[in-house]
């Protein structure tokens, strides 16, 4: 995908934080910035306005609480998505009339495979 470069002026502290997080996530600072911009732009305008108001007027604790709620919503959405995908995949692993023993064996095999991959 062809892209364009845009720039933003940020404080030294924010630039350092971006560099550190990019390194932790094995991404470039530009990739991390692009991800943040996609997230921000994809928010509804009223949510962006609320974020800006919290940034400009909110106390640090108010900002932290709001970000924790956003993180919780994102984590819940990811968990729900993963459960739906796992359920769809699991339904292909055993016939509908499988016995409890067969289901237990399949579950055991999946658990063992997951444990082996995690090492």
Going from the C-alpha of 32 to that of each of 5, 13, 58, 76, the distances in angstroms are: 13, 16, 25, 22
At 16 the pLDDT is: 97
Whether 28 and 52 share a structural domain:
no
6 within a domain of the structure (yes/no)? no
Going from the C-alpha of 18 to that of each of 24, 91, 106, the distances in angstroms are: 10, 42, 44
- Short-list 33, 10, 7, CA closest to 21: 33
Whether 71 and 16 share a structural domain:
no
Angle at 44 between CA 40 and CA 38, to 5 degrees: 25
64 within a domain of the structure (yes/no)? yes
Burial of 34 (0-12, 13-18, 19+ CB in 10 A): middle
pTM above threshold 0.75: no
Question: Could you tell me the residue range of the domain that residue 49 belongs to?
Answer: 45-118
Whether 60 and 34 share a structural domain:
no
Give the pLDDT of the chain (119 residues) as one tens digit per residue: 678 999 899 999 999 999 999 999 999 999 999 999 999 999 999 999 999 999 999 999 999 999 999 999 999 999 999 989 988 887 788 888 888 998 888 888 888 877 776 55
């Amino acid at each position: 995908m062809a892209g364009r470069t845009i720039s933003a002026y940020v404080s030294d502290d924010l630039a350092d934080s971006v560099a550190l997080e990019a390194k932790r996530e094995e991404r470039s600072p530009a990739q991390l910035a692009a991800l943040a911009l996609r997230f921000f732009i994809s928010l509804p305008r009223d949510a962006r306005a609320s974020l800006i108001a919290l940034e400009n007027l909110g106390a640090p604790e108010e900002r932290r609480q709001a970000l924790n709620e956003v993180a919780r919503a994102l984590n819940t959405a990811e968990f729900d998505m993963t459960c739906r995908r796992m359920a769809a995949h699991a339904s292909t692993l055993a016939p509908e009339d499988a016995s409890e023993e067969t289901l237990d064996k399949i579950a055991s095999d999946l658990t063992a495979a997951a444990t082996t991959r995690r090492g």
